[in-house]
Amino acid sequence: MNREQHTGFIPFIKRELKPKGKIVTPFNIIAAITIFAAIIILVIRFTNGLGSVVHASQERPWGFWINFNVITGVAFAGGAFVVTFMVYIMGMEKYRPIVRATILYALLAYMFYAGALLLDLGRPWKVINPIIGNSFGLSSVLFLVAWHFILYMGSLFIEFSPTITEWATLKRPRKFVASLTLAVVIFGIALSTLHQSGLGALFLMAKPKIHPLWYSEFIPILFFISSIFAGLSLVIILETIGRRVFKKEMSATHKNSHSNIMIGLARICSITMFVYLFMVILVFLHNKGLNYINSPWGYWYLVEVIGFVLIPCLIFLFGFKRLNLNLVRIAAGISIIGIILNRLNISTFTYQWYENTIHFPTWMEIVVSAAVIFVQILVFRWIVRRMPVYNEPPGWAIDVKKEQIIYN
Amino acid sequence: MENFTRFDIYDTKGIEYLFVIGYLLLLIVFWNIAKSPQAIKLYKKAIGTVSAKVLRIPQGIFFSRFHTWTHLGESGDAKVGLDDFLQQITGKIKFTRLKNPGELIEKGDLLTVIDQGGKQLEVYSPITGTIVDTNSLLTNDQEMIVGDPYESGWVYKIKPTDWVKETQTYLLADEAADWATKELDRFKDFLAGEAMKRYSSKPSMVLLQDGGEIRENVLSELPDDVWANFQEEFLKIS
Amino acid sequence: MGLKRRNFLKTLGAVGSTLTVGKSFGATSKKEEDIEFYGILYDSTLCMGCQSCEFACAEHYGLPNPEDMPEQGVVRKPNESRRLTINAFNTSKGEQYMRMACNHCNSPACASACLTKAMIKTDEGPVIWREEKCMGCRSCIISCPFDMPKFEYDSPNPKIQKCRMCFELLKEGKKPVCIENCPADALLFGKRRDLLEIARARIYADPENYNHEIYGEHDVGGTGVLYLASVPFEELGFRKDLGKVSYPELNKTFLYSVPAVLILWPAFLLGLRNSRVKENETKPIKE
């Protein structure tokens, strides 16, 4: 039995802060440049106003940061609530190896995308207002989304904290936070349902401005269902990348069950996308969509639905049936593009579609968005190299394994 | 009068959200109260009840009738250990009188003595052979719960001399599960007997045969003469 | 256990009674019933396109004077430096003018979308923006069917620019400056109820001259600014597909289900877990 012998808190932190792995790699260099550029852009944004870096106008108030990082990015963080549902509620132990990494990814995603939201606010210093009760705009969907983000980040943090306590060898705290896991998972799933659909509900009042093929009263439900397979598709991609990049950190159990997990996820994605497709068709019928199909926007709609929902659904199906991991990865990639397309269609491209102007973001917006993603990846890597995310928990945590597996 | 004075269709949202918060807290309380009827004060976790359903009987493992198991690995070495039943009714135990690699052990010889605060049980080996390895997880003189008795909780790796002959009478899979159920009933009877001798004033400690489930680690709270009787009844190789 | 149950029921009762009491306080306060909305009636048939209203508004709020004039074929929209515009349209009855500014809806989308209550519908009628609360999220612009709130993109401390019906003046018993300064009496100020009657009276009195519709009577659930014109409103730059239902109603299904989901999901998930966990315990360990 090995005993963690850390000789004190400060030396421990010092040790952990040292970079592990090479400092000068192509990825690190690109990330550093992007982040540096983003900081400069942000200084300009705050001194000269939003309009100096962002391509927003009075007609299109929401730019790339909100529409991409928040409305789209948060969909991909939906993997956490699906995977925790499968493992903690339905007891599908097969997926246990990926739980921690998925929760970590989602936690970082929410933290950084909420941060990106702050960048897009005109007066971010007032963001405290709806939080401290100075003025609760209860009728606002954005109020709900903001509060749910905060509560859900807290839930994800508690779900992740057993890993942190294992890293810092805090045994009694670990017992305590592990006992909270079930309550926080259940709360997290309820919150996720609401804010994933809430992101769609933000656009409900923009009825006259979004193209009728994309707008419906069912937008919240469609956003929720698509977040399920968006999150899982991203988990598939993350696992694929992680298996190569974090080879050292991954435990043998994890490596061995990789294929099993991927095939299982492919099956779930395929079924979910099948259901989503039929929901989309239902909404299409409800909206009398046939009236709009014969137009450039109509064709674009067909491209999105057939090319990026139906086709990846079928590829997932083939990949799962033929046990072909490459097909699964391709399908995941296509469905991710499909989600980005769908979310951007509703929030940007078809917003004020009758103006017939295509709105592209400025290079500065893209750089900042990319920088946010880079920072997220760097933090993820830092944590994975030090904490038992991909590898097995330390020995002293194993005899409380009972609490980990079955909970009550 | 909606169109001439202020009217807000969301004016009750504040109270609704406060109500929901209150509900969630009360749900936790209510859920704990509304547990199924076998719950008594001492019911801790679902896995805390030692019932035949909960005893984990894995595939491919031979059970002796004395609560030890053995499994022949691909390398030709057999692992031996204590079964889940023994682990669950005792709780935190120390493994003492462990043998070293290289020593010979015969079927029926002392495998190890498990110790809990002075109360002891002797466990006997199910097979004959040379000890190849002793599990280092168990050698540190610490009381511990073996969460995984059939995998990481093995006691010795033994190179068996007569595997086939010795394991012929041992139980596998379904048979083992049936036997485990009967052993449990036998254990409940045993406890009832011991209880009636001494603990008629604390009926909560022993729940009875018809539908009652045994509390986890029940032996840990019973004195050493009960342990001695258990040794005689359940672990002695006759 | 009996004590816990008793407390549970007590709390339930207390919450239930506050709910009913709270509701009754909200809905039928006598004071609120006495204050009725003010409104503005704009009669396009009387408007001369002189832009006096635009100049008065700019002067009152310290905004730059308008530099261009109403011109057929060009739609001048309000922006961060002008809250009110007049446009000229070539219609079936010749050149007509139309005002464009915040319509002070009865149930405004912007106020409903605002998460800090920076945009509010006052009891008196005007929909106003409060600087000290605004975060600059621009949800109000997304939600407004008329795209009326305008954001100062080029300022590090950006404000929302929108007609506020000169709310401070209303409190002093005065009229909004655009109405005070209109030489043609095209603008009328008063209680919305009275203005509707006046508008109807004008139509009945002169049916040939007027389009038989008061824009804002029911559109988007009713607005505080009412419009009369001599031609159908589509010819004057109005959209007819905005609906007769107030925009906050579009969120109703979603927002009403939120507490319900928060109540039902945890119970459902707990039950699901309970049944699955017992099932799992009978499975043998496999590797």
Measure the CA–CA gap between A119 and C128, rounded to whole angstroms.
25
Q: Do C267 and B27 touch (CB under 8 A)?
A: yes
Q: Which of A216-220, B62-66, C96-100 has the lowest mean pLDDT?
A: B62-66
Query: What confidence score (pLDDT) does residue C141 get?
Result: 94
Query: What confidence score (pLDDT) does residue B59 get?
Result: 65
A153: in domain: yes
- Judge whether A185 and A159 are in contact, CB under 8 Å: yes
The residue among B11, B45, B140, B150 with the most chain A CBs within 10 A of its CB, best to mutate, is B45
- Taking the mean position of all CA atoms in its chain, how far away is CA A144? 18
- Judge whether A88 and C273 are in contact, CB under 8 Å: yes
CA angle C90, C94, C100 (to 5 degrees): 50
Mean pLDDT over A65-77 rounds to 91
Q: Do C276 and A127 touch (CB under 8 A)?
A: no
Measure the CA–CA gap between C245 and B75, rounded to whole angstroms.
77
Measure the CA–CA gap between C4 and C70, rounded to whole angstroms.
73
Mean pLDDT over C178-192 rounds to 94
Query: What confidence score (pLDDT) does residue C29 get?
Result: 46
C270 to chain A: which residues are within 8 Å by CB?
186
Q: How far is C46 from chain A (nearest CA, A)?
A: 30
Q: How far is C123 from chain B (nearest CA, A)?
A: 6
A214: in domain: yes
Q: Do C113 and A142 touch (CB under 8 A)?
A: yes
Indicate the pLDDT class of residue A117, thresholds 50, 70 and 90.
confident
Mean pLDDT over A334-345 rounds to 94
Q: Report which DSSP code applies to C229.
A: -
User: Dihedral through CA A257, CA A263, CA A267, CA A269, nearest 10?
Assistant: 90
Q: How far is A400 from chain C (nearest CA, A)?
A: 17
Q: Are residues B19 and B123 in the same domain?
A: no
C241 to chain A: which residues are within 8 Å by CB?
208
Query: What confidence score (pLDDT) does residue B51 get?
Result: 54
C238 to chain A: which residues are within 8 Å by CB?
none
Cβ neighbours, 10 Å, residue A246: 18
Q: State the residue for tokens 């394994």.
A: A401
Q: Do A136 and B152 touch (CB under 8 A)?
A: no
Q: Is the pLDDT of residue A388 over 90?
A: no
Q: Do B1 and C33 touch (CB under 8 A)?
A: yes
Mean pLDDT over A373-380 rounds to 92
Q: Do B12 and C107 touch (CB under 8 A)?
A: no
- Judge whether B9 and C249 are in contact, CB under 8 Å: yes
Q: Which of A319-323, A382-386, C275-279 has the lowest mean pLDDT?
A: C275-279
User: Dihedral through CA A333, CA A336, CA A340, CA A342, nearest 10?
Assistant: 110
Measure the CA–CA gap between B132 and B161, rounded to whole angstroms.
13
* Per-residue confidence in pLDDT tens, chain B, 238 aa: 457 888 888 888 888 999 999 999 999 888 888 776 544 333 333 334 455 545 566 667 788 888 888 888 777 788 888 887 887 788 788 888 888 888 888 888 888 888 888 888 888 888 888 888 888 888 777 777 777 777 778 888 888 888 878 888 888 766 777 787 788 778 877 776 776 666 555 444 444 434 455 666 777 777 788 888 888 888 876 5
Indicate the pLDDT class of residue C278, thresholds 50, 70 and 90.
low
Q: Are residues B36 and B147 in the same domain?
A: no
The letter for the amino acid at B173 is A
Mean pLDDT over A227-245 rounds to 93
Share of chain A above pLDDT 70, in %: 94
CATH value at residue B119: 2.40.50.100
Q: How far is B103 from chain C (nearest CA, A)?
A: 30
Q: Are residues B81 and B143 in the same domain?
A: yes
Q: Return the domain boundaries, chain C.
A: 32-250
C277 to chain B: which residues are within 8 Å by CB?
46
CATH value at residue A267: 1.20.1630.10
Query: What confidence score (pLDDT) does residue B198 get?
Result: 63
Measure the CA–CA gap between A183 and A161, rounded to whole angstroms.
14
Mean pLDDT over A19-44 rounds to 87
Burial C186-207 (b: 16+ CB within 10 A, else e): bbbbbbbeebbebbeebbeeee
B9 to chain A: which residues are within 8 Å by CB?
139
- Judge whether B127 and B51 are in contact, CB under 8 Å: no
Q: Do C273 and A89 touch (CB under 8 A)?
A: yes
Share of chain A above pLDDT 90, in %: 50
Q: Which of A241-255, A299-313, C34-48 has the lowest mean pLDDT?
A: A241-255
The residue among B8, B28, B47, B152 with the most chain A CBs within 10 A of its CB, best to mutate, is B47
Chains in contact with B, where contact requires at least 3 CB pairs less than 8 Å apart = A, C
Query: What confidence score (pLDDT) does residue C57 get?
Result: 94
For chain C, what is the mean pLDDT? Answer: 86
Q: Are residues B160 and B54 in the same domain?
A: yes
DSSP A311-350: HHHHHHHHHHHTT-HHHHHHHHHHHHHHHHHHHHIIIIIT
A403 to chain B: which residues are within 8 Å by CB?
45
Query: What confidence score (pLDDT) does residue A216 get?
Result: 93
Q: Do B142 and A138 touch (CB under 8 A)?
A: no
Query: What confidence score (pLDDT) does residue C285 get?
Result: 32
- Judge whether A386 and A166 are in contact, CB under 8 Å: no
The letter for the amino acid at A218 is F
Query: What confidence score (pLDDT) does residue C21 get?
Result: 42
A363: in domain: yes
For chain A, what is the mean pLDDT? Answer: 87
- A355 pairs with which residues across the strands? none
Q: Do C147 and A59 touch (CB under 8 A)?
A: yes
Q: Which of A165-169, B106-110, B208-212, C244-248 has the lowest mean pLDDT?
A: B208-212
Mean pLDDT over A53-72 rounds to 86
A264: in domain: yes
Measure the CA–CA gap between C198 and C103, rounded to whole angstroms.
18
Q: How far is C76 from chain A (nearest CA, A)?
A: 13
- Taking the mean position of all CA atoms in its chain, how far away is CA A166? 25
Q: Do A398 and B17 touch (CB under 8 A)?
A: no
The size of the B-C interface in CB pairs under 8 A is: 92
Higher pLDDT, C201 or C154: C201
B210: in domain: no
Measure the CA–CA gap between C109 and C127, rounded to whole angstroms.
10
The size of the A-C interface in CB pairs under 8 A is: 175
Domain count, chain B: 2
Q: Which two tokens stand for residue B63?
A: 């059970």
B94: in domain: yes
Q: Are residues B153 and B65 in the same domain?
A: yes
The domain in which residue B131 lies consists of 49-173
Query: What confidence score (pLDDT) does residue A136 get?
Result: 87
Q: Is the pLDDT of residue C188 over 60?
A: yes
User: Dihedral through CA A241, CA A79, CA A184, CA C284, nearest 10?
Assistant: -80
User: Dihedral through CA C81, CA C239, CA C43, CA C84, nearest 10?
Assistant: 0
DSSP-derived pairing of the beta strands B110-116 and B119-124: antiparallel
DSSP A212-267: TTT--TTHHHHHHHHHHHHHHHHHHHHHHHHHHHTTTTS-HHHHHHHHHHHHHHHH
Q: Do B3 and C222 touch (CB under 8 A)?
A: yes
Which residues does B contribute to its contact with A (CB < 8 Å)? 8-10, 13-14, 17, 24, 28, 45-47, 136-137, 140, 142, 144-148, 152
Higher pLDDT, C13 or B219: B219
Q: Which CATH architecture has domain C32-250?
A: 2-Layer Sandwich (3.30)
Q: Do A61 and C261 touch (CB under 8 A)?
A: no
Closest chain C residue to A119, measured at CA: C137
Highest mean pLDDT among A52-61, A285-294, A388-397, B115-124: A285-294
Measure the CA–CA gap between C217 and C103, rounded to whole angstroms.
11
Share of chain C above pLDDT 70, in %: 85
Q: Which two tokens stand for residue C167?
A: 């709310």
Q: How far is A10 from chain C (nearest CA, A)?
A: 40
Query: What confidence score (pLDDT) does residue B41 get?
Result: 35
Q: Do A123 and C135 touch (CB under 8 A)?
A: yes
The letter for the amino acid at C93 is K
Query: What confidence score (pLDDT) does residue A3 get?
Result: 41
The 3-class secondary structure across chain B, one letter per residue, is CCCCCCCCCCCCHHHHHHHHHHHHHHHHHHHHHCCCCCCCCCCCCHHHEECCCCCCCCCCCEECCCCEEEEECCCCCEEEEECHHHHHHHCCEEEECCCCCCCEECCCCEEEEEEECCEEEEEECCCCEEEEEECHHHCCCCCECCCCCCCCCCCEEEEECCHHHHHCCCEEHHHHHHHHHHHHHHHHHHHHHHHHHHCCCCHHHCCCCCCCCEECCHHHHCCHHHHHHHHHHHHCCC
Query: What confidence score (pLDDT) does residue C287 get?
Result: 25
Q: Do C254 and A137 touch (CB under 8 A)?
A: no
Measure the CA–CA gap between A167 and A385, rounded to whole angstroms.
11
Q: Do A51 and C270 touch (CB under 8 A)?
A: no
Q: Do B45 and A402 touch (CB under 8 A)?
A: yes
Query: What confidence score (pLDDT) does residue A172 get?
Result: 82
A73: in domain: yes
Q: How far is C63 from chain B (nearest CA, A)?
A: 30
Q: Report which DSSP code applies to C65.
A: P
Q: Are residues B30 and B137 in the same domain?
A: no
Which of C155, C243, C254 faces A220 most closely, judged by CB atoms?
C254
Q: Is the pLDDT of residue A188 over 50?
A: yes
Q: How far is B193 from chain A (nearest CA, A)?
A: 31
Does pTM top 0.90 for this prediction? no
Measure the CA–CA gap between A351 and A366, rounded to whole angstroms.
19
B32 to chain A: which residues are within 8 Å by CB?
none
**A325-344 and A311-321 are packed helices; what angle lies between their axes, rounded to 10 degrees?**
160
Q: Are residues B35 and B100 in the same domain?
A: no
Domain count, chain A: 1
Indicate the pLDDT class of residue C247, thresholds 50, 70 and 90.
very high
